[in-house]
Amino acid sequence: MTDIDADSSARAKVLVVGMDGLRYDRVTRSPSNAPVLHGLMAAGAHGTSMLPYGRAEDGPSAGTAYTDSGPGWSSVLTGVWPDRHGVTDNDFLGADYARYPDFLSRAATARPGLRTAAVVSWPELVVRGVLGTAVGRRVRYDGESDGYETADRLVADTAARRLTEDAPDALFVYFGATDEAGHATGPLSPAYDRALLTQDAHLGRLLEAIDARRAYEHWTVLVTTDHGHLDTGGHGGDTRAEREVFVILAEPGGPAGTRLDTPRLIDIAPTVLDRLGIPVDPLWDLQGRVLPRRTAPTSEWS
């Protein structure tokens, strides 16, 4: 990719990419396993943290949730844990997105002129209201019925086109094939590695679309997952393999290959708002923190 332009006059933009059920150790196992993700980590910053965990019968806590996609993506998008957004598993009962909307909705409400969009292959993120109606464009494909390999490809096609033609200010993109492979054959399987490599290539297409706009736009890219997987496949429990999550942050300026100090899923929403120049209102009651900006110069994404 071309050099990063650190011109502060360029318009601030944010891309958040979610890869469902992606185990960090499978990403870092070999650069050839996910070359685009490795390039982002080498040029930017990254780190891991552990999801809080608990069951409803254990009493109220920030971790009163299973390590499932409903709670995980709700935490990513809202900036609060399940004790506030109310989602504890994949039935979404108790969700309070009216009080704790997604970061795209908050951005669009705070600055009505912003162009916001989301493109996902897990339709529940739109159907259940995790991504609210305030989002400018919500495009959903159905990985559950069509298969995530097909649906993710459509997501990549649409997101790349949006980045090229529509000039969004903030875009959320979701891929689900790694989670599907993890359930089917486990995260140690060749099928999981193939799904990861394909998602990595999808991400590369999005970064190429961004790169073409870098002369006049200042892009922050965040990549994360919602939970891990047992070696045998599956999740929902409290093992390290299920609870470990990661965040990758790449943006103009800063030392390459640095570590983030235990970045959490709830840190993504306030970080997106910060990069868009939207102050976090204390009345929003967010639990996440803004991930630090990088300040020293660097030359490339990958």
**pLDDT tens-digit series, residues 2-48:** 333 344 446 999 999 999 999 999 999 999 999 999 999 999 999 99
3-state secondary structure 199-231: HHHHHHHHHHHHHCCCCCEEEEEEEECCCCCCC
In a domain, 1, yes or no: no
In a domain, 293, yes or no: no
In a domain, 166, yes or no: yes
Look at residue 256 in the predicted model and tell me its pLDDT: 81
Q: What is the pLDDT of residues 125-168, one digit of tens each?
A: 999 999 999 999 999 999 999 999 999 999 999 999 999 999 89
Position with higher pLDDT, 267 vs 52 = 267
Look at residue 213 in the predicted model and tell me its pLDDT: 87
Look at residue 58 in the predicted model and tell me its pLDDT: 43
Position 215 confidence tier, pLDDT thresholds 50, 70, 90:
confident
pTM of the model: 0.92
In a domain, 86, yes or no: yes
Whether residue 241 has pLDDT greater than 50 = yes
Look at residue 298 in the predicted model and tell me its pLDDT: 38
Look at residue 253 in the predicted model and tell me its pLDDT: 76
Look at residue 8 in the predicted model and tell me its pLDDT: 47
In a domain, 295, yes or no: no
Show the domain range for 245.
11-284
Count of the separate structural domains present in the chain:
1
Whether residue 271 has pLDDT greater than 60 = yes
Domain of residue 233, CATH code: 3.40.720.10
Mean per-residue pLDDT for 237-258? 90
Look at residue 257 in the predicted model and tell me its pLDDT: 85
In a domain, 270, yes or no: yes
In a domain, 3, yes or no: no
Look at residue 6 in the predicted model and tell me its pLDDT: 41
In a domain, 294, yes or no: no
Mean per-residue pLDDT for 222-239? 96
Locus of tokens 């069509």: 146
Q: List for the chain the helix, strand, coil content (%; round to 5).
A: 40, 15, 45
Whether residue 59 has pLDDT greater than 60 = no
Sign of the torsion angle spanned by Cα atoms 138, 166, 172, 204: positive
Instruction: Supply φ then ψ for residue 54, to 5 degrees.
Output: 180, 160
Mean per-residue pLDDT for 47-60? 69
